[in-house]
Amino acid sequence: MNVSKIQTVISVLIISIIGYLYFSLSKKITPSLYISNTYLYVSLAIAIACITVLQLAKYQYTLTSTHLLLIFILSLASMFGVKYFKHIVPRHIIWLVFVISMGVILYPMYQKTEEKGTLNGTIVTTLVLTIGLSIFATFSTCDFISWGSYLLFGLFALIVLEVCDMIFHSSVSGLNTRFKIYSCIAIVLFSGFILYDTQLLKKKSNYVTNDNVNYPLESIALFLDIANLFTNISNVN
């Protein structure tokens, strides 16, 4: 299936999800509706990011490090904007900017896996891990929410370690091996974040109301978990 056909399929999926959400958002919120709508927003974010990546690939767009840095800053700004904007239309526009920005950031990973021939394997592995961990977290009696501070500390420590490695290791010998190890650690961490965010979503569903629900914000955490899983799995493959 060529890029144009894949884009058409994803576009139909996007329209279908938006159509369903348009009618579902007017309903009185229940725990199950809240959870299903959040996952639909996550699916919508993934679909929009995929369209962005495929559009860049279609025109073989080249991104420089400066482009990626600016897009990264834009994604951070829009992520915080989703949290603090109260009006529904601006909030969704900012969320869309965030998702498209993430699509641009993921584009180099798409190129890398496409060149190595590991794209399909990376996508399947990411999907299996995401679905499996989400189901496990939903029905498990373990308290994964208590893992939050440990996961954040682990992620911070990993980022510091990677930065120090890049700064203080002048030799590139063994660099690929070390960063594959870092990616394996990141896969474990973001698997933990999926367990954490899934249970947190389930907990929030018991007290969220139509007045305080923020689906764009709720979808960001899981979307980032999945995006980071994909990125780090692509580094290992």
Look up tokens 């896996």; give the residue.
113
Give the pLDDT score at 170: 55
Q: What angle in degrees, to the nearest 10, is found between the helix axes of 88-116 and 119-139? A: 130
Total tally of structural domains belonging to the chain: 1
Tens of pLDDT along the chain (237 residues)? 577 788 888 999 999 999 999 888 888 888 999 999 999 999 999 999 999 999 998 888 888 888 889 999 999 999 988 988 878 888 999 999 999 999 999 999 998 898 888 988 999 999 999 999 999 999 988 999 999 999 999 999 998 888 887 777 655 656 677 888 889 999 999 999 999 999 999 999 888 887 888 899 999 999 999 999 999 999 887
Q: What is the DSSP letter of 212?
A: T
By the 10 Å C-beta count (0-12 exposed, 13-18 middle, 19+ buried), 179 is classed as middle
Query: Looking up tokens 């939903």, which residue turns up?
Result: 138
> What pLDDT score was predicted for residue 84?
84
In this prediction the pTM is 0.90
- Whether the CB-CB separation of 198 and 132 falls below 8 Å is answered with no
Domain that holds residue 152: 3-236
